[in-house]
Amino acid sequence: MSKLSRKQFDLLVSASEGPLPSQRSLSDALGCSVGTVNKLVSELSEAGYLKNGEITKDGLDALEPYRAKRAVFLAAGFGTRLVPVTLNTPKPLVRVNGKRIIDGLIDAVLAAGIDEIYIVRGYLAEQFDQLLYKYPMIKFLENPAYNESNNISSAMCARYFMQNAYVFEADLLIREPSLVRRYNYGTNILGIKMDRSDDWCFTVKDGVITEQKVGGIDVYQEIGLWYIDGDDGRKLSEHIPQTYDMPGGKERFWDSTIFDSFKHEYRVEIRECREGSIVEIDTFKELKQLDKTYDV
């Protein structure tokens, strides 16, 4: 069998998590008929990927191209909107209710079986060394241009590690760790369905992002948690430097490479998440609302 279809992939991922549930439950989960489920099970069994409703070694091998292999955290910025707490602490290391913001993300990554972890650092870089006591597998990438460019300079530092990779804004407070999944069918980014947004958001058609913009009606609000598949990661390793070298390129966000500079080269799915399942703390006021110890 060549590349898995989307529904074959979904069913095989379900099998990788334990014995398959009832066909009715599968039809509900996959959004298809019981007859389609029977056909999928037959196809995957004939291919040797399932046996008696359980995934085989060949089945796990078939999922391997879709497995998240590494995680990249873009953590070099100042976090100016969180002043005064970021005057002496990088934003990802700020504690919320006793836990560093970045710890929740790293814990979710490790729970998904990913232990190749890169953190791009710049502002107060040496403070990130404290993470090594709890997470000795971390590798640091140094961004010397963090104070004179946007986060595309961090993507420049990490561009060779963005294949089969999660790419995080490192200041996201994650409350639903299962959002970081072991397997992904293709490149996607998290979004929250909104009737109206004044923030960065996406227009979406049939589950695929058609436009990135600031503000809109009937949109998905952008959440900076990406998964980049292998093919797109290889393209990005070439396209990010080209975007960076364009006029005004250093002032861009890194994902403008995908949504602007080379928008016809990429197909990005939206992955919907619930409001509150992951939170970007934009201001000190929002931090105080989440953790009353800052409200002094």
d(CA 280, CA 254): 18
Judge whether 6-65 and 67-294 match in fold: no
Taking only the tens place, the pLDDT of each residue in 4-17 is: 999 999 999 999 99
Regarding beta strands 117-121 and 139-142, do their DSSP bridges make them parallel or antiparallel, or are they unpaired?
Answer: parallel
Determine the topology of domain 67-294 in CATH: Spore Coat Polysaccharide Biosynthesis Protein SpsA; Chain A (3.90.550)
Q: Give the residue extent of every domain in the chain.
A: 6-65, 67-294
Alpha helices in 31-113 (DSSP H): 34-46, 57-63, 101-111
Taking only the tens place, the pLDDT of each residue in 17-74 is: 988 888 888 888 888 888 998 999 999 999 999 998 899 999 999 999 999 999 999 9
Regarding beta strands 278-280 and 172-174, do their DSSP bridges make them parallel or antiparallel, or are they unpaired?
Answer: antiparallel
Taking only the tens place, the pLDDT of each residue in 191-216 is: 999 999 999 999 999 999 999 999 99
Q: pTM higher than 0.85 for the full model?
A: yes
CA nearest neighbour of 184 among 210, 206, 164: 164
- Res. 266: pLDDT tops 80: yes
Mean pLDDT of the chain: 94
Greater confidence (262 vs 33) lies with 262
- Domain 6-65 falls under CATH 1.10.290.10: no
Per-residue pLDDT at 1: 56
